[in-house]
């Protein structure tokens, strides 16, 4: 089998430029010169991220009867992070350049950084200026702040570096409140913060990001089976639900020396980015490490009584942990396409219709009141069923190009014939095919076309 090819090396650059121009994402606080590795999501980005969150929520919570949702606080009792091991071990090795650039690097990324700058991986010294590097020292990635008005050590707290711990510390409350029996999961989406040493590749590695995590509690001994189940299920989600091409995804099992201290098996869902394979999601068998640690440190018994076998034990946990920002970047990169149409370059985002910011754009051929008087109420009607945009500026050709660039699957055009025949044209993004449909049944016609787009996206994800 031939190796999958990564996207063209300049595709990230082009995407970042389009993302800013069209309002997907851009640097945070740019009017003040920005701030390193922090980003804002513009109107289209916010819409698309909401769609991705919803797809995850639908697959992991709503369509299941064995997962409970939860929302826990970002700042928790600092003992949580002592018990979980984050205070002692959530570190990355840091080296400083002592040459001219004085940059700081993650020691285990130095070879990659050299390669990214066109230098041999084993070139001596700093990837940037070649200056000498210090020995590596451990740097804790948790952001610290103080709770309350006194900024002393006793008031020190952390911004959570992962959402997972909230689900472990609330395990017993959820079991009791929801009268849950094993196996079952607790899921949440929310912000996490890591003071990354070397943020890179736009929103791939940032210091504030969002996670979508689920802790699936099961009987020890059944964990391997559930691990396999969740690996399959998560691969299915990335391809079938989100439309990411399977040929650019892989599931990679961690080598023994790569495993986290709490895990007996972890497999990463990886995507072939323009710069190489990168992690989108980790599916980890966390054993009973976390519940055991929190039981010990808090003094509260977090064991589970199995009424079927009359046994008391600490459940094992399988954790699929995905990042929303990486999902969002992946879907944009995977959808990116450029092609020539009648001698002109067309940029098109071939996004899955459930992911795209808009499903339908309503475009009157001109700004004349005769047409906008029809198009406005039509857009209002469609909005009740679909994510619908209305746009009457510029020429129709430019508006089609813009909708292609932001990945809108369908464009509904109201023209002068519409006033006579009570029909409009639906243009489909990928094949640019056009069909004339009566205004009366427009919602159903759009639903049918979107179903066809979903089917085409599924087909593409299998490639």
The 3-state DSSP class for residue 356 equals coil
Q: From the CB of 106, what's the least distance to ligand ATP, in Å?
A: 9
Nearest to 270, CA basis, from 249, 239, 254:
249
Strands 360-364 and 423-428: unpaired
Stated as kind and residue range, the H or E segment containing 188 is strand 184-193
Residue whose CB is less far from ligand ATP, 205 or 402: 205
- 71: which 2 tokens? 């929302």
148: left (phi over 0), alpha (psi -120 to 50) or beta: left
Interatomic CA distance for residues 41 and 329, integer angstroms? 12
Stated as kind and residue range, the H or E segment containing 252 is strand 249-253
Q: From the CB of 135, what's the least distance to ligand ATP, in Å?
A: 22
Interatomic CA distance for residues 308 and 313, integer angstroms? 13
Stated as kind and residue range, the H or E segment containing 231 is helix 223-236
DSSP 261-316: TT-SEEEEEEEEETTEEEEEEEEEEEETHHHHHHHHHH-----EEETTTTEEEPPE
Q: Which residue is nearest to ligand ATP (CB)?
A: 323
Selected from 86, 194, 286, 401, the binder of ligand ATP by CB under 6 A is: 194
Which range in 48-56, 222-230, 276-284, 388-396 contacts ligand ATP by CB under 6 A? 276-284
Per the annotation, binding residues are: 106, 162, 194-196, 204-213, 279-280, 319-326
Q: From the CB of 145, what's the least distance to ligand ATP, in Å?
A: 18
Which 158-177 positions form the footprint of ligand ATP (CB under 6 A)? 162
For residue 209, CA distances in Å to 28, 192, 194, 322 come to 13, 5, 8, 11
Which 246-265 positions form the footprint of ligand ATP (CB under 6 A)? none
Task: Let me know: does 413 contact 371? Beta carbons within 8 Å.
Answer: no
Q: From the CB of 206, what's the least distance to ligand ATP, in Å?
A: 4
Q: From the CB of 249, what's the least distance to ligand ATP, in Å?
A: 13
For residue 66, how many other CB atoms are within 10 A of its CB? 13
Q: From the CB of 68, what's the least distance to ligand ATP, in Å?
A: 20
281 near ligand ATP, rule: CB under 6 A: yes
Task: Let me know: does 148 contact 161? Beta carbons within 8 Å.
Answer: no
279 near ligand ATP, rule: CB under 6 A: yes
202 near ligand ATP, rule: CB under 6 A: no
Residue whose CB is less far from ligand ATP, 47 or 205: 205
Residue whose CB is less far from ligand ATP, 331 or 410: 331
Which range in 273-281, 371-379, 427-435, 445-453 contacts ligand ATP by CB under 6 A? 273-281
Residue 3 gets which letter from DSSP?
P
325 near ligand ATP, rule: CB under 6 A: yes
280 near ligand ATP, rule: CB under 6 A: yes
Q: Where are the beta strands (DSSP E) in 331-409?
A: 336-341, 344-349, 360-364, 388-390
Selected from 24, 56, 81, 209, the binder of ligand ATP by CB under 6 A is: 209
Which range in 43-51, 231-239, 280-288, 411-419 contacts ligand ATP by CB under 6 A? 280-288
Nearest to 153, CA basis, from 164, 145, 163:
145
326 near ligand ATP, rule: CB under 6 A: yes
Residue for token digits 């098996």? 265
Nearest to 45, CA basis, from 325, 245, 299:
325
Q: From the CB of 99, what's the least distance to ligand ATP, in Å?
A: 26
Q: From the CB of 269, what's the least distance to ligand ATP, in Å?
A: 8
206 near ligand ATP, rule: CB under 6 A: yes
Which range in 218-226, 286-294, 320-328, 402-410 contacts ligand ATP by CB under 6 A? 320-328
Which 90-149 positions form the footprint of ligand ATP (CB under 6 A)? none
52 near ligand ATP, rule: CB under 6 A: no
196 near ligand ATP, rule: CB under 6 A: yes
- 215: which 2 tokens? 């802790």
Residue whose CB is less far from ligand ATP, 146 or 191: 191
Positions that interact with ligand ATP (CB under 6 A): 162, 194, 196, 205-206, 209, 211, 279-282, 321-323, 325-326
């Amino acid at each position: 089998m031939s190796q999958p090819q990564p996207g063209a090396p300049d595709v990230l650059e082009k995407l970042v430029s389009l993302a800013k121009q069209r309002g997907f994402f851009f640097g945070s606080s740019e009017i003040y010169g920005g701030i390193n590795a922090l980003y804002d999501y513009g109107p289209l980005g916010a819409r698309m991220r909401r769609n991705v969150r919803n797809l995850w929520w639908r697959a992991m919570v709503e369509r299941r009867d064995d997962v409970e949702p939860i929302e826990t606080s970002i700042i928790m009792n600092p003992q949580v992070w002592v018990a979980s091991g984050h205070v002692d071990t959530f570190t990355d090795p840091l080296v400083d350049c002592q040459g001219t650039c004085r940059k700081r690097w993650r020691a285990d990324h130095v070879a990659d950084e050299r390669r990214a700058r066109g230098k041999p991986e084993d070139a001596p010294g700093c990837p940037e200026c070649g200056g000498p590097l210090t020995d590596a020292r451990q740097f804790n990635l948790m952001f610290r702040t103080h709770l309350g008005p006194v900024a002393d050590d006793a008031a020190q707290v952390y911004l959570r570096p992962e959402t997972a711990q909230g689900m472990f510390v609330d395990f017993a409350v959820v079991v009791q409140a929801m009268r849950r029996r094993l196996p079952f999961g607790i899921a949440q989406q929310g912000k996490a913060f890591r003071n990354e040493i070397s943020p890179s590749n736009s929103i791939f590695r940032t210091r504030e990001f969002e996670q979508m995590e689920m802790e699936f509690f099961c009987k020890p001994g059944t964990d391997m089976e559930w691990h396999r189940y969740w690996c399959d299920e998560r691969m299915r989600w990335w391809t079938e639900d989100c439309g990411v091409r399977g040929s650019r995804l892989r599931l990679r099992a961690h080598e023994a020396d790569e495993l986290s201290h709490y895990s007996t098996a972890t497999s990463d869902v990886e995507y072939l980015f323009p710069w190489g394979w990168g992690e989108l999601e980790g599916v980890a068998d966390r054993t009973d490490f976390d519940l055991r640690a929190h039981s010990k440190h808090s003094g509260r018994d977090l064991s589970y009584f199995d009424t079927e076998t009359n046994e008391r034990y600490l459940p094992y946990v399988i954790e699929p942990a995905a990042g929303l920002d990486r999902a969002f970047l992946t879907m944009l990169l995977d959808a990116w396409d450029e092609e020539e149409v009648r001698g002109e370059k067309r940029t098109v985002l071939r996004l899955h219709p459930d992911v795209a910011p808009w499903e339908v754009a309503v475009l009157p051929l001109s700004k004349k009141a005769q047409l906008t008087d029809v198009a406005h109420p039509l857009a209002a009607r469609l909005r009740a069923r679909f994510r619908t945009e209305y746009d009457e500026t510029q020429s129709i050709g430019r508006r089609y190009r813009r909708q292609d660039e932001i990945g809108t699957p369908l464009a509904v055009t109201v023209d002068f014939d519409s006033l006579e025949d009570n029909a409009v044209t639906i243009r489909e993004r990928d094949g640019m095919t056009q069909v004339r449909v009566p205004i009366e049944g427009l919602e159903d016609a759009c639903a049918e076309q979107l179903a066809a787009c979903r089917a085409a996206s599924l087909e593409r994800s299998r490639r």
